[in-house]
Amino acid sequence: MDKQIWEVPLELVPNKIPRYPGGREIDRFRGLKDPKDDGRPEAWVGSTTYAANRDMEQDENLGLSEVLLPDGDKVLLKGLIERHPVELLGKAHAGKYGSNTCLLVKLLDAKDQLGLQTHPTREYAKKHFNSDFGKAESWYIIDVRKDQLEQPYVLLGFKEGITRQIFEELYEKQDIRAMEEWCHKIPVSPGDMFFVDAGVPHAVGPGCFMVEVQESSDITVGVRKRKFSSVEEELEYKERLLGCYHYNGASFEENLNKYKIPRKVLRKEAGGTETLLLGNEQTPYFSVTEVEVTDEFPFRDTGTFSIVIVLEGEGEMIFDGGRMNIRKSSEIFLPAGVKNLVWANRGSTPLKLVRSFPPDVL
């Protein structure tokens, strides 16, 4: 069985992570009969990263993805990769990063606006959080809720004129509304792609259903005070929090040009099109493409693994040694050892999928 693991696509077991209000659109996307907001608004796809709230939820494996093996067994992807890092991740990736995928992909559905926050750079994460990874991330808007009172939006990037002194004064007052008003409010539509660099203030607005692709960490820095047993601890927390934000203000147009990423066609053939959604121009830490298949379209072998979410349609993956049926909401871990793969559309509408890559690929 082990010999086949890195030669075939691995079906990921659907999951949802408890966090904040939301989750209905993930259920709807997956075709469940009774979609509802159940407080599990994130599905971690192909994850080898532990969720920060695993102790609170009393689940030591919270955040880790399971895969369905060819014999029907379910196992943690993390353990599988630790046993076969070169074969599953690719020789070059494993040689540089070992068994760490350096990649975290999520489905995220926010019922309400999330709290204003940012994430550390790798350097800041190493110094203040004892982590090798920061948390640059990206948002690909799959859909928006139709029953929102307001058009779904995101808060992203500081407005012109911000300074750390201004932000600190608002932090001391805990004037969260004013802190949010220093950020640009950007209406979103299906198909939009945003890059959210480390240090940039942001908040996902209500009604956004997205694919989030990011570095493999779960470090979030908000804007709310906490209670501490000493003044020293409180000051240390405040300095770490305020120091994580980058106070680089910009006009709405400048901000949008920097963080809303235009599409770029990578290749177009008779059977389909692959479009770059995010690449090295934005970050070296991960990349994302969208593949639309109208007939049969050859897979581009990058020598490494990738993580796939099928957004629309139905079809097959044809590869050396077999076939796998796929449909809307299928989640797949594609090992580096899968060879000569072809995407095949078998429906009346195009097969569309998002493919996420680790560092050093696109």
Give the three-state DSSP class for 28.
helix
For residues 92 and 208, membership in a common domain is answered with yes
Q: Return the pLDDT at 69.
A: 87
Based on the structure, what is the number of domains in the chain?
A: 2
Residue where a domain terminates, one of 259, 276, 299: 259
Q: Return the pLDDT at 149.
A: 84
By the 8 A CB rule, do 28 and 38 touch? no
In a domain, 99, yes or no: yes
* Interval 27-50: pLDDT, tens: 999 999 999 999 999 999 999 999
For residues 230 and 345, membership in a common domain is answered with no
For residues 350 and 306, membership in a common domain is answered with yes
Q: Where are the alpha helices (DSSP H) in 55-107?
A: 77-83, 85-89, 91-97
Q: Whose CA is closest to 339, among 292, 298, 294?
A: 298
* Interval 182-204: pLDDT, tens: 999 999 999 999 999 999 999 99
DSSP class of 17 = B
In a domain, 288, yes or no: yes
For residues 192 and 316, membership in a common domain is answered with no
Residue where a domain terminates, one of 259, 290, 305: 259
* Interval 14-30: pLDDT, tens: 999 999 999 999 999 99
By the 8 A CB rule, do 339 and 320 touch? yes
Q: Per residue of the chain (362 residues), what is the pLDDT tens digit?
A: 445 789 999 999 999 999 999 999 999 999 999 999 999 999 999 999 999 999 999 999 999 999 998 788 999 999 999 999 999 999 999 999 999 999 999 999 999 999 999 999 999 999 999 999 999 999 999 999 999 888 999 999 999 999 999 999 999 999 999 999 999 999 999 999 999 999 999 999 999 999 999 999 999 999 999 999 999 999 999 999 999 999 999 999 999 999 999 999 999 999 999 999 999 999 999 999 999 999 999 998 999 999 999 999 999 999 998 999 999 999 999 999 999 999 999 999 999 999 999 998 87
CATH of the domain at 77: 2.60.120.10
Q: CA 129, CA 115: separation in Å to the nearest integer?
A: 20
For residues 255 and 269, membership in a common domain is answered with no
Predicted TM-score (pTM) of the model is 0.95
Q: CA 203, CA 276: separation in Å to the nearest integer?
A: 24
- The greatest distance separating any two alpha carbons of the chain, rounded to the nearest whole angstrom, comes to 66
Q: CA 174, CA 229: separation in Å to the nearest integer?
A: 19
Q: In this structure, which amino acid lies at residue 85?
A: P
Which residues span the domain enclosing 347? 264-357
* CA-angle at 200, arms to 198 and 201, nearest 5°: 130
For residues 280 and 345, membership in a common domain is answered with yes
* Interval 298-319: pLDDT, tens: 998 999 999 999 999 999 999 9
For residues 94 and 207, membership in a common domain is answered with yes
Q: Name the residue with tokens 């097959």.
A: 316
For residues 135 and 18, membership in a common domain is answered with yes
Q: Whose CA is closest to 210, among 109, 311, 328?
A: 109
Q: Name the residue with tokens 């770029």.
A: 264
CA atoms within 13 A on the CB side of 281: 13
For residues 293 and 212, membership in a common domain is answered with no
**Phi, then psi, of 49 in degrees rounded to 5:** -110, 135
Q: Return the pLDDT at 2.
A: 44
Q: Whose CA is closest to 91, among 304, 271, 284, 289?
A: 304
In a domain, 362, yes or no: no
Q: Name the residue with tokens 């020293």.
A: 232
Q: Return the pLDDT at 148.
A: 85
Residue where a domain terminates, one of 228, 259, 290: 259
Q: In what order do the strands lie in the sheet with 66-68?
A: 74-76, 66-68, 10-12, 331-334, 306-312, 351-357, 287-293, 272-278, 264-269
In a domain, 62, yes or no: yes
For residues 205 and 323, membership in a common domain is answered with no
Chain centre distance of CA 7? 25
Q: CA 136, CA 217: separation in Å to the nearest integer?
A: 9
For residues 166 and 218, membership in a common domain is answered with yes
For residues 254 and 278, membership in a common domain is answered with no
